[in-house]
Amino acid sequence: MVAWMINKFGNEEQKQSLLQELISMEKLASYCLTEPGSGSDAAALLTSAVKDGDQYVLNGSKAFISGASATDVYLVMVRTGDHGPKGISTVIVERDTPGLSFGKVEDKLGWKSQPTRIVNFEDCVIPITNQIGPDGVGFNIAMAGLNGGRINIASTSLGGAQKSYELAKDHLGVRKAFGKELINNQYLQFKMAEMATRLVSSRLIVREAARALDNQLPSAPALCAMAKLHATDNCFDVCNDALQMFGGYGYLRDYPVQQFVRDVRVNQILEGTNEIMRMLVARNALKS
Residues 158-215: tens digit of each pLDDT: 999 999 999 999 999 999 999 999 999 999 999 999 999 999 999 999 999 999 999 9
**Looking at residue 105, what DSSP letter applies?**
P
Give me the catalytic one of 26, 35, 94, 271. Answer: 271
Q: Which option is the CATH number for 2-134: 3.30.70.260, 3.90.1580.10, 3.20.20.80, 2.40.110.10?
A: 2.40.110.10
Cα-Cα-Cα-Cα torsion 96, 98, 100, 103, nearest 10 degrees, comes to 90
User: Residues 2-29: pLDDT tens digits?
Assistant: 999 999 999 999 999 999 999 999 999 9
User: Residues 39-72: pLDDT tens digits?
Assistant: 889 999 999 999 999 999 999 999 999 999 999 9
Annotated active-site residue 271? The verdict is yes
User: Is 73 in contact with 94 (CB distance < 8 Å)?
Assistant: yes
* Phi, psi (deg, nearest 5) at residue 184: -90, 0
**Which residues of the chain form CATH 1.20.140.10?**
140-285
- First-to-last alpha carbon distance for the chain, in angstroms, is 32
* pTM of the model as a whole: 0.93
Superfamily of domain 140-285 in CATH is Butyryl-CoA Dehydrogenase, subunit A, domain 3 (1.20.140.10)
